[in-house]
Structure 1
Amino acid sequence: MPSHRYSAEDFRDALLKLLPSGLLWNRSKENGLGKLFHVLGQVYQDGTHRALSLLSDLFPGTTYHFIQEWEKTFDLPDSCMGDDGTPEQRRNAIIAKLTDEGGSSVRYYITLAQNLGVPITIEEFAPARAGIMRAGQRCYGRHWAFAWRVQIPRLVVSRFRSGRNTAGNRLRTWQRGYIECVIRKHSPAHTALFFRYFTTEER
């Protein structure tokens, strides 16, 4: 497939050259046929650009026209996102589903959040033990062995980025409770999960 992207004017000029010779077939770009062929050229231009970007559009990380097809495959959007997700958030949800191998480790939840576009850190707790604790540390009871805390941005501002975002994406998006909902759904039932929020902005 050729990599050159032909413009509507290129297609118009090519169509004009296909006209028979003679005074009846005026090849002027300003007459009725010239304007009609320009409209047809725009249709051919759109079709060519769609064909050249087909592989990129099929890939889940850069898809736009096939988002709904990917979502049907992974039963998305889920109850956490609803129908209000931006194209970038919807792509992130697809990637998270596609790469999700399950788990309950710290690394698993950090990776899950990263795939959804949110940086987090996780703090684990342990019961107080003599000989291990240091002066100034908090004393936790034995039940704290099942507690963990996710530190998550209170407000994440995602800016439009050339090469990562596409036409139709918002210049800025604000993510709030979606990541908390996802982590809660994936958290082990026997654990106690807490969230700590801080304000940050993605550069």
Structure 2
Amino acid sequence: MAVGRPDYKAILTALLPPGTALAGRRDSVLQRLLDGLSRELERVDSRSRTMLGEADPRRARELFGEWESSFGLPDDCAPDEQTMTERRQALLGRIVSRGGMRPQDYKDLAAGLGYDGVEIIEHREAVIGWYDGPGHAGAEIGDALNGEEWNHAWDALIPEGVVRQSVISEAEIGDALRSWGDDLIECVLHKAAPSWGYLNVAYIEED
């Protein structure tokens, strides 16, 4: 519960030495001093409650730049003109990213940036032989005749026509109401991909 100026003045008054010497009139120097101190304590209390909200990157505004700096943002994947919504999505995506090279890790990375429905397809070398243990079986009719290098290739399929909406509570003057394009997610995925891998980014055609 917020503590207001009357509450702080009552607290300060209670701390005064007992007796009638300090009672004074409401317009006395002492009472005006207590009014000024209680007003300042109310301001500090209000600011402290605001700062509690700044501890949450989903709501931070005044300390948002420090949040970005702490996680190395904006980086070279950031577009030249990012809206506040896009900057916040990039920050949250960086915070929740756990790293890793599983398909689900890349899906989670994309989802953290606001790209839902990303599909990951892993390729493999086409081989002929009997399947008698762990690992993938031999090629089947209809499989692509991939060479050995395809064991290190994979596709990231992104829904075509991704639209990012501006959020009124987060947007700033000059931000676009809508934005299209996927340069951000392509850069982020390529940056997260292992150096020995081959990443192909494609887009899922909408019906």
Structure 2 length normalisation: TM-score? 0.64
1:138 to 137, 144, 164: 144
Q: Which residue of 2 aligns with 1:80?
A: 77
* Match of residue 163 from structure 2: 157
In the TM superposition, 1:65-76 aligns within 5 A as: 65-76=62-73
Say whether the 8 Å CA contact 1:151–1:195 is kept in structure 2: yes
1:15-34 matches, within 5 Å, as none
Match runs of 1:82-161 below 5 Å: 82-119=79-116, 120-130=118-128, 132-160=138-166
Count of matched residue positions in the alignment of Structure 1 and Structure 2: 159
Mapped to 1, the partners of 2:139 and 2:46 lie a distance apart of 63
Q: Counterpart of 1:189 in structure 2: which amino acid?
A: S
Letter in structure 2 aligned against 1:125: H
Q: Which residue of 2 aligns with 1:40?
A: none
Structure 1 outlier segments of 4+, above 6 Å: 47-51
The 1:99–1:178 alpha-carbon spacing in structure 2 relative to 1, beyond 3 Å, is: same
Could you tell me which runs of 5 or more consecutive residues in structure 1 were left unpaired when the two chains were aligned.
Answer: 4-19, 21-46
How do residues 174-185 of structure 1 correspond to structure 2 at under 5 angstroms?
174-185=180-191
Gapped regions of structure 2 (runs ≥ 5): 4-26, 28-43, 131-137
SS at match of 1:155: coil
Deviations 1:142-176 (A, max 9, x none): 111011011113431123468xx535375423342
8 Å Cα contact 1:125/1:147 also seen in 2: yes
TM value normalised by structure 1:
0.65
CA contact (8 A) 2:124 2:150 kept: yes
Whether the aligned pair in 1 keeps the contact of 2:68 and 2:91 (CA below 8 Å) is yes
Amino acid at match of 1:166: E
Question: Does structure 2 retain, via aligned residues, the 8 Å contact 1:154–1:176?
Answer: no
Report what 1:197 is aligned to: 203
